[in-house]
Structure 1
Amino acid sequence: MTFNTFEEEQSHKDKRPVSHGLTGWIRAKFFQPPQETISTLSDELDLEEAEEISRVGRYLVVEKIAQGSMGIVYLARDPYIKRDVAIKIARFPEQLSQEEVQKYRERFFSEAQCAGRLNHPNIVAIYDAGIHKDACYITMEYIGGPTLKKYCKAKELLPVTKASEIIFVAAKALDYAHRKGVVHRDIKPSNIMITHQGVVKITDFGIAKVDSQGEGRRGLVGSPCYMSPEQVKELPVGEKSDIFSLGCVFYELLTGKRAFYGDNYFSILYKITHEDPVPPSHLRPEVPEIIDKIIKRALAKNPSERYQSSMDLAYDLRVALRGLKEATRRTKMEDVVDYVRQVSFFETFSREQVQEILMASNLIKVPKGRVVVSEGEIDDSFYIILSGKAAVVKNNNTLATIERGECFGEMAYLSGQSRAATVVAVTDSILMKISATLLDRAPQSIQLLFLKKFAITLLTRLAKSNQDKA
């Protein structure tokens, strides 16, 4: 479901009873009983005419299978490739101006643009997009299985282990999207599907935001019960917003109850920003304490207190799953290798190389505000941020903020001199600390990869410094 801005509501005032002023808008928006969807493009589609559609482009329409926030979805057949596909189609009402039609058309195709740049086994694939007569359509991978909505009912709850595995896979898929610059912004049970083979698939990127789009659409966007506090406050949203929404889905998948629920939108949004849900174990005793802690962190009101990446969430879920299962084929080292290889610094390293580096390094958790290295100290170690943010400070001035995938301390290692600045953790962080002495004993191929990364880092920082001066 998508909330529009006050201005967007005014453009549709002929479609519902007029209520003048901001008070009327608030009443209509927040004090009506919650619904699965409110006025969206799919509501504006002429449903009777839509039912008569038999062909879209080269695709043969078989039947209507769903109605989403941005259109109606049909099962169709590609006669050339001989495969089933899903087609999402939207036609716009005749009374809209050309400018409004163009605006909605761009919004509709944003899903194809967002999801089209993603190629991941746990994200629904986009095959095609186009305009058929006066309608827009997107052709995508057909998933015949149910959504997670089916398993959020009290009588349909999955085992704790299975629910955790699903969220673990979804978290890794979201991490991939985030690293590609795409924030979903509408994670909810009906947007996560399970194929008949048991494969998790994230779908519906209709209101997703891409980095290049800036802040994207203004106004409340998302589905009320799964919105993050920053979405409710209409603040810019990033990957931590998706983490909050996924935490809401996890909670509901375990308990059959929504983490934040109320009689109207206002009460739901108030709870999201002011109240914490009861721990899942209070509603379902077999949920272990570690899962309670994971959900509590995912649902933190302050984004800086949440998991700093979806991969951080996935890693903790993997630890929890190891405890939930009586036996596991994977070792802890393999889990850590997977975690580290998701960090951009190590994207060119092989699994074997990452494993060797881990043997010569330490992973440390650093709380927010802790000084990691101090100006003037002599130390040949350097650090890579696996999670969180840190500030580079000199003479009480912050020179830069560095994030996941970046390194610091490498200049002391390369020059053999004392630290030139102080580095402080801005958020709770996970760092890889590497001793230069141990790295010097590593194979030459690994040393060369590090030197290449250091060179790229120096050039990037130099270019940014010159840009700031300009």
Structure 2
Amino acid sequence: MPLAGQVVGNGVRLVRPVGRGSHSLVYFAVARDGQPCAVKIFPAHLGGYADREYAHAHDLLHPRLVRVIDRATVEEQPALISTLARGEVMFRRYTQRPAVQHERRAFLLTMAHLLDALGYLHGRGVVHRDIKPENIMVEEDGSAKLVDFDLSGPAFETFDAPMRMGTAAFQSPEAARGEPLGPESDLYGVGVLLGWGIHGFLADTDEPHPHTLDPLQPLYLSLIRADREARPNDAALVRQELLRLAGLPY
């Protein structure tokens, strides 16, 4: 049944569905004080994902991350209340492609903000594990926030069996093999997105790389190296290199 109009948590009113997370339906909502927020509602049998996301994200506080505020229940379904990330998902925001040719400064700001978010996450010992356009909300000027932490967890976390995490088109080789993931695995996804911005399409990393004279190409190629040991693993340094190559101030 429709959930719009219901009140959850401490006076948060659901307004309308606005999208989907990896395992959830996301509603636009309004808090008691009138502030907009988001409510992620999980199917009852996926309560473990809600618990996991809350445990790993509720104390994260950074301007480039949505903030998970509270845990709630909606008609016996687990839910998370978070701040609202404004804008559109990355690929819908950049409709003129390649983005670095049509909106270079805005696109590079998006990438810098994504790397800011990852630098903070990685500094807290957490990896996102699902870097993809749907998890990056972008405003008109290119400002961006990273969302959806239900696959996130401690760096190099191990499981009883191999866990293939992430979305195939943006997944690092080690993620596809089900290995424990570290910061370099998130940065592989950043590389795929950077390549999309440079070339205007998702390149097949198993094929010869598209030719370009763009100065960002070497950074793109370094981020998508198949060997994780040869790949950058420091988001702050990648951000510095991105801006240096682009000729923009730090």
Report the TM-score when normalising by structure 2.
0.89
2:167 counterpart of 1:215: no
Asked if structure 2 preserves the Cα contact closer than 8 Å seen for 1:163 and 1:250, the reply is: no
Aligned to 1:150: 92
Asked whether the 8 Å contact 1:115–1:126 carries over to 2, the reply is yes
- Whether 2:10 is the aligned partner of 1:55: answer no
> Is 2:61 the counterpart of 1:139?
no
Counting only pairs closer than 5 Å after superposition, residues 249-398 of structure 1 correspond to structure 2 as: 249-260=193-204, 275-276=206-207, 278-279=209-210, 281=212, 288=214, 290-322=215-247, 330=249, 335=250
Letter in 2 for 1:114: H
Q: Quick one: structure 1 residues 83 and 237, their matched pair in 2 at CA, closer, same or farther if it must change by over 3 Å?
A: same
Report if aligned partners of 1:76, 1:84 keep a CA contact under 8 Å in 2. Answer: yes
Contact kept, 8 Å, 1:71 with 1:88, in 2: the verdict is: yes
> What is the CA–CA distance in structure 2 between the aligned matches of 1:258 and 1:181, rounded to whole Å?
29
Q: Which amino acid aligns with 2:244?
A: V
SS in 2 for 1:143: coil
Q: Secondary structure at the match of 2:73?
A: strand
Q: Hey, what's the Cα distance between the residues in 2 that align with 1:280 and 1:150?
A: 25
- List alignment gaps of at least 5 residues for structure 2: none
Shift of 1:164: 2.3
Larger Rg: 1
* Identity of matched residues, %: 22
1:164 counterpart = 2:89: no
In structure 1, distance between residues paired with 2:211 and 2:91: 18
**How far did 1:242 drift?**
0.2
Q: For the residues of structure 1 that align with 2:67 and 2:131, how far apart are their CA atoms?
A: 17
Counterpart of 2:171 in structure 1 is 227
1:245 partnered with 2:245: no
- Partner Cα separation in structure 1 for residue 158 and residue 211 of structure 2: 34
- 8 A contact 1:53–1:61 mirrored in 2: yes
Residue by residue, what CA displacement relative to the aligned partner does 1:101-127 show, whole Å, maximum 9, x if unpaired? 3xx312222222222232111111111
Cα pair 2:28 2:36 within 8 Å, conserved: yes
Any stretches of 5+ residues in structure 1 without a counterpart?
Answer: 1-48, 93-100, 261-271, 282-286, 336-470
The structure-2 alpha-carbon separation of the partners of 1:176 and 1:252, relative to structure 1 and needing over 3 Å to count, comes to same
Q: Deviations over 1:392-447 (max 9, x none)?
A: xxxxxxxxxxxxxxxxxxxxxxxxxxxxxxxxxxxxxxxxxxxxxxxxxxxxxxxx
Amino acid at match of 2:126: V
Larger relative contact order (Cα-Cα within 8 Å, sequence gap ≥ 6)? 2
Q: 1:301 deviation in Å?
A: 0.5
**In structure 1, how many angstroms separate the alpha carbons of the residues matched to 2:37 and 2:176?**
35
SS of residue matched to 1:172 = helix
What is residue 51 of structure 2 aligned with on the other side?
109
8 Å Cα contact 2:110/2:142 also seen in 1: no
TM-score calculated relative to the size of structure 1: 0.49
Equivalent pair of 1:230/1:237 in contact (CA under 8 Å): yes
1:75 to 22, 25, 28: 28
Asked if structure 2 preserves the Cα contact closer than 8 Å seen for 1:152 and 1:252, the reply is: no
Number of residues paired by the alignment?
246
CA 1:106–1:277 in structure 2 vs 1: closer, same or farther (change >3 Å)?
A: farther
How far apart, in 2, do the equivalents of 1:252 and 1:107 lie? 30
The separation in 1 between residues aligned to 2:7 and 2:76, in whole angstroms, is 13
Which amino acid letter does the alignment assign opposite residue 316 of structure 1?
E
